[in-house]
Amino acid sequence: MATSTNFFGSFLISHLGVDAKYVCLALEKQKSEQQKIGELAQASYALDSMDLITVLNKQSQTHRPFGEIAMELGLLNQQQIEELLTRQSESRKKIGDILVEMGVFSESEKETHLKSYINWLEGLAALGKATFSQPTLH
């Protein structure tokens, strides 16, 4: 799940009593260590430094995504952007692993917390289906 990291962090705080400051520190570390899409593009698709600077300058002015600008300038295509985003996502360190590195909990506790989180999500999904199912017309 692409967005489950923040949800997992919220779950750790609200359901398991993990101190919010540790989750915030882990999220900051995750963000700071994440590979930038421009760096990946430069390494993977031979964007030169000038291309990278051009995209980054335009990005700072427009606040649009790197990939959108690179495609607009003809530097990358949609498939390349999708590959870069997948690679970026796959290389992102998981928040649970960061919390283990920080000593907040052990590897086995992380696994237990992940199982609790999955059970909680499954319960929400089941509740959502029961609560919001379409009425049948007779």
Distance of CA 10 to the CA centre of its chain: 14
pLDDT digits (tens, 9 = 90+) for 50-95: 999 999 999 999 999 999 999 999 999 999 999 999 999 898 999 9
pLDDT at 127 over 90: no
Residue 134: the pLDDT is 39
pLDDT at 3 over 70: no
pLDDT at 131 over 80: no
Tell me the average pLDDT of the chain.
Answer: 87
What is the Cα–Cα distance from 9 to 36, expressed in whole angstroms? 22
pTM above 0.75, yes or no: no
Structure token pair of residue 78: 């949609």
Of 76, 90, 94, which is closest to residue 35 (Cα–Cα)? 90
How confident is the model over 2-17, as a mean pLDDT?
79
pLDDT digits (tens, 9 = 90+) for 13-54: 999 999 999 999 999 999 999 999 999 999 887 789 999 999
